[in-house]
Amino acid sequence: MAPRQSVLPLAYRAFFLIIEPISALVGAFFAHFRQDEYLSMTIHTEASVSLGTSVVLSQLANLYLLFALNEALVLRSTGDLRVWRTVLFVLLVADFGHLYSVSGLGSWVYWDVTRWNAIDYGNVMFVYLGASMRIAFLTGVGLAVSSPPKTKKTA
């Protein structure tokens, strides 16, 4: 029998079901509706969005929306730890891809918080937090999962 979702620690439920999906929706909003600002903050220089870049940013916004809905709705629909582990593993892979995607800015983007702007906090610090939460969950931190009772063999 799968454990109920309410058995999962509050920190995990709050982060994965509420905080992170809302954050992804904010990213989707900016990537689609505030494209000049989003792009300028991402590359740390004034930029105007071409038609091609606009299409790509709208596709990115759609992926942020997918991320938010997948996490909030799929995880909310079950307490099955296998499903949670699968979804969170896939999102952890995406975290590493997301972090790699900003590597062109230079190594400073990963550690020099004095140079960060608001989007860097989302693209780096918040991704560090999300990846850390996923690693903690996947390694069982705070999860009290009991093994099934052993049955006695009869002769």
Whose CA is closest to 98, among 27, 35, 29, 45? 27
> Which pLDDT score is estimated for 1?
47
The Cα 79–Cα 68 span in angstroms is 18
Tell me which amino acid residue 127 is.
Answer: V
pLDDT per residue as tens digits for the range 2-48: 455 568 999 999 999 999 999 999 999 999 999 999 999 999 999 99
Residue 109 to residues 28, 64, 100: CA-CA distances in angstroms? 21, 21, 11
Q: Given this model, what pLDDT does residue 151 score?
A: 62
- Tens of pLDDT, residue by residue over 76-120, are 999 999 999 999 999 999 999 999 999 999 999 999 999 999 999
Q: Give per-residue pLDDT as tens, 82-92.
A: 999 999 999 99
pTM of the complete model: 0.86
Three-class DSSP category at 60: helix
Convert 99-113 into a string of H (helix), E (strand) and C (coil): HHHCHHHCHHHHCCH
